[in-house]
Amino acid sequence: MHFAVVLAFCLSLISRSLQASLPSFTDVLSSQTNLSSFSDVLNKTYPDLLTRIETSTSPITILAPSNAAFAKTIYYSIIGPAFSNNDVGAIKAILDYHVVEGNHPSTSLLPTFQYFPTWLTNTTFTNVTDGQRVGGVMQSGKEMFWVSGQSNRSPGIVMDIAFQGGTVHIIDSLLIPPSSFPATAELFSTAAEPYQLTSFLGATYLSSNGTVSPIAALLNETSDITIFAPNNVAMESVASSLTSLSLSNGSSSFSDLLNYHIILKGGPLYSTSFPTNSTTLELETLNGTPITISFSSNSFFVNSARILTSDLLLANGVMHVLDNVLSPGSTGEKPNPSLATQVPVLSTGAPGGFNVSQAPFTSSLPNAVITGVTASPTGGSYGGGGTATTTGAASTGTGVPKKNGGVRTAALNVAWLIIALVIIYFIV
């Protein structure tokens, strides 16, 4: 018993000694020439954030943008204006989004995406409990990617730089904080109109009196929301049924159908919470009628609709793209994984190919977003106030971090280890 206690104590001392022997975050910034822009921004404009990182009592992971990432800010349509306008608040939110809760070295990442909370908690920019999420993955066991808003992928170019507070990964493009539901839907798949989400977006904004519809307000203002959004070709294929429902008395049936695509409880629900075996997951929708999530032939299904794209991060939750419209009157439909596109559960009307001009409700697209998360207008850009000092130096390469700045040496670790072994020897 005494031996176990002493051993645990000694191991604790050794662990703390090893941790103390690591460089500080400031040391990492100084030793990595490829982080000079990041270092300048933190030291000159956001010293409080730098101090918070250095003094964090909980382990963290820093996704540190390279000099090349900062040099490309003018090309970012969403976050670029924040840097062009030197918007202090918006840039601070962007930098907060690069600090991930928990220590996540490359060995802890999986070949499928995991979603981690970040330090972005400012309610002006996000409405996700415990911090906006970022996705991390290791592909083929050697390629690291981090996914952020608008499905932006940031590759890790230097991995696993250990520091006293956790781990630093250098990434070659800035993370983009997720935008509102309308901004994300409007920018999704802009190169391929049949697979856009503008029809479903327009349906949620459909209003007979020109005001913002209750469902549109809910989708923008509710925290931790999960949306299952049919793409344009799915909406167009059942356009006659949808239009008929939208014109019915009070349109309650149409609202019920839209609400059947929305989950408010227990979210945001990322694909990591979906079953990947023969089990199913039943979720209560805003409509009150449950949907069933299943997995087959390497695809997720919602009732009989296939999830084509999962985990589109939103300012207030997450969205998954479907190949079919869901119907609360057809809850028992089962998927047929052998079909590339699932059979619609609503009446399809007249046969014919996709015609973007026939995708319903696109005339109801919003001109503005009424939301408590004010950073993401329909255009989805950041920037507008304050002044910040930023730099945009070109990439100058990377190096192995040096243990300097008063950091304890490995010799001290050996000393602690010898002391611990002596203590254990005499107790035994």
Residue 376's pLDDT is what?
42
Between 3.40.50.970, 2.30.180.10, 1.10.3080.10, 3.90.25.10, what CATH number should domain 22-177+384-407 receive? 2.30.180.10
Order the strands of the 143-147 sheet from edge to edge. 99-101, 60-65, 166-171, 153-163, 143-147, 133-139, 114-117
Domain boundaries, the chain: 22-177+384-407, 181-364
CB of 420 closer than 8 Å to CB of 2? no
Say whether pLDDT at 5 is over 70.
Answer: no
* Helices 198-205, 252-259: inter-axial angle, 10-degree rounding: 130
User: Would you state the structure tokens that stand for residue 345, as one six-digit string?
Assistant: 């559960």
d(CA 108, CA 112): 12
pLDDT tens-digit map of 163-185 = 999 999 999 999 999 999 999 99
Residue 297's pLDDT is what?
86
Say whether pLDDT at 406 is over 70.
Answer: no
Residue 272's pLDDT is what?
94
Lowest mean per-residue pLDDT among 72-81, 86-95, 333-342, 408-417: 408-417
Say whether pLDDT at 13 is over 50.
Answer: no
pLDDT: is 44 or 368 the higher one? 44
pLDDT tens-digit map of 251-290 = 578 899 999 999 999 989 999 999 988 889 999 999 999 9
Residue 194's pLDDT is what?
80
Strands (E), 289-333: 290-296, 299-302, 305-314, 317-322
Say whether pLDDT at 141 is over 70.
Answer: yes
d(CA 328, CA 48): 50
Which CATH number describes the domain made up of 181-364?
Answer: 2.30.180.10
Q: Model confidence at 357, in pLDDT bands (50, 70, 90)?
A: low
How crowded is the C-beta side of 44, counted as CA atoms within 13 Å? Answer: 12
Residue 51's pLDDT is what?
97
CB of 392 closer than 8 Å to CB of 38? no
pTM, entire model:
0.82
Q: What is the CA radius of gyration of the chain?
A: 25
Lowest mean per-residue pLDDT among 60-69, 223-232, 376-385: 376-385
CB of 20 closer than 8 Å to CB of 163? no
- When pLDDT is averaged across residues 120-126 and rounded to a whole number, the result is 95
- When pLDDT is averaged across residues 316-341 and rounded to a whole number, the result is 81
pLDDT: is 29 or 210 the higher one? 29
Q: Model confidence at 191, in pLDDT bands (50, 70, 90)?
A: low
Q: Model confidence at 418, in pLDDT bands (50, 70, 90)?
A: very low
Return mean pLDDT, the chain. Answer: 81
Residue 225's pLDDT is what?
97
pLDDT: is 368 or 379 the higher one? 368
